Amino acid sequence: MPMASETLTIIDNRTGKQYEIPIKNGAIKATDLFQIKISEDEGIVSYDPGFMNTASCQSKITYIDGDKGILRYRGYPIEQIAEKATFLETAYLILNGELPTRAQLDDFSHHVTFHSIIHENIKKLIDGFHHDAHPMGVLVSTVGALSTFYPNAKKIFDAQNRREQTYRLVGKMPTLAAFAYRHSLGLPYSYPDNDLSYTGNFLNMLFKMTELKYKPNPVLERALDILFILHADHEQNCSTNAMRGIGSSQPDPYSSVAGAAAALYGPLHGGANEAVLRMLMEIGAKNKVPEFIEKVKGGSGRLMGFGHRVYKNYDPRARIIKQIADQVFDVMGKNPLLEIALELERIALNDDYFIKRKLYPNVDFYSGLIYQSMGLPMDMFPVLFAIPRTVGWVAQWEEMLIDPDQKLARPKQIYLGAPARDFVEMSKRN
């Protein structure tokens, strides 16, 4: 890391002028480039589609070293958290910066649990969707609609108020998700059970039938808890960037979470595990794998669940997920697609095309197989990602709000369109 006093010297060959740009925490400020003029009132800008080399914020939440395959929440390695913590303990850590004491965790769990019920009118809203409505569409709509139930939530600069909305968001996301799922099956909604853990209750809301009390399978409950831990935050990914971007115009957090969830929906982000399963089904058999790999190398399609914008090594979350997969398959029976996935991974990890491009399995390569084995349909996969990621979104949103450096997110553009010209009347256009 460079010293705070270090500078970057830029010599402008057009004018011979020299500029000293301060380097702080390994970064120069893009606004410092403004002094290098390209016209009387325009300065040089940096051009960076997709934010390939632009930091949009300073953050203390999540650390990733993509080359080494390291992921830490608030400094703690993901491997240790996944082994030793529960999801709600992780959520507390991400939101507050420190691991909770027993009393703090009990208090946090109590508040989240007691905010899991949703207003009956939200239930009616869900009833209004078609039976085959994609649950992610239902989730995006209903979490956005929560803002109308809690108009007070727009007081975003009141820390106590933010805390209350955080409990609601973390508490209600599983309920919205489970209700969307039950609606798609035409089943009666299963209400939250406050005696159960966060993931145990989620399983109850998804799968309870006529039994008086749902008893979650402890292996599946813990597997889901670990999957939630692995998905809780991932620094400035596409949906978090959306959360911060929307939040920067200062709406209530429900509106921002709806936008973040919409960003998560796409196949390059939260939709990737669904795409993995579709790919595995398309391949169909282990012996068809080499042929499929050749097609990918020939430029036809991508190997879904492989590659990552940040990880140029094995995604540490994928390693942990592989272990969980075995535990879930022991309970639910082996997923027949697993054989194809293992063969794909084996061949790809030994193939020059993937080695050269540093393409390794990411978190989504196995998560879909696990969810499918638990009896969840593919449509639910992005929803299962959105539930734990809500914690990361809220933590990042709050960090953005109280950061004096942050402003309304409004990037520049490089205009390459037509120069000024006079309007042409319709009758004179050919």
Q: How many residues are listed for the chain in this entry?
A: 430
Between residues 253 and 305, which has the closer beta carbon with respect to ligand COA?
305
Query: What is the DSSP pairing of strand 70-73 with strand 76-77?
Result: antiparallel
Candidates 17, 68, 295, 357: give the one binding ligand COA (CB under 6 A): 357
- Output the six-digit token pair for 47: 């051009």
Instruction: Give yes or no for a contact between 33 and 46, defined as CB atoms under 8 angstroms apart.
Output: yes
Least Cβ distance, residue 185 to ligand COA (angstroms)? 28
Helix (H/G/I), strand (E/B), else coil: 15: coil
Token pair 């490089």 in the structure block, residue: 414
Helix (H/G/I), strand (E/B), else coil: 224: helix
Of residues 283-342, which lie at the interface with ligand COA (CB under 6 A)? 296, 302-309
Instruction: Give yes or no for a contact between 67 and 73, defined as CB atoms under 8 angstroms apart.
Output: no
By CB under 6 A, tell whether 278 contacts ligand COA.
no
Residue 25: count other Cβ atoms within 10 Å of its Cβ.
9
- Output the six-digit token pair for 368: 């879909």
Handedness of CA 5, 1, 243, 91 (dihedral sign): negative
Least Cβ distance, residue 272 to ligand COA (angstroms)? 3
Candidates 8, 185, 187, 268: give the one binding ligand COA (CB under 6 A): 268
List phi, psi (to 5°) of 241: -60, -40
Between residues 144 and 305, which has the closer beta carbon with respect to ligand COA?
305
By CB under 6 A, tell whether 69 contacts ligand COA.
no
Candidates 335, 362, 372, 390: give the one binding ligand COA (CB under 6 A): 362
Between residues 201 and 273, which has the closer beta carbon with respect to ligand COA?
273
Q: Would you name the residues annotated as active-site residues?
A: 269, 308, 364
By CB under 6 A, tell whether 281 contacts ligand COA.
no
Q: Count residues contacting ligand COA (CB under 6 A)?
A: 16
Between residues 24 and 309, which has the closer beta carbon with respect to ligand COA?
309
Between residues 272 and 340, which has the closer beta carbon with respect to ligand COA?
272
**Shortest-Cβ-distance residue relative to ligand COA:** 307
What's the DSSP call for residue 187? Answer: P
Candidates 246, 272, 340, 394: give the one binding ligand COA (CB under 6 A): 272
Query: Nearest-CA neighbor of 181 among 409, 395, 415, 377?
Result: 377
- Contacts to ligand COA by CB under 6 A: 268, 272, 296, 302-309, 357, 359, 362-364
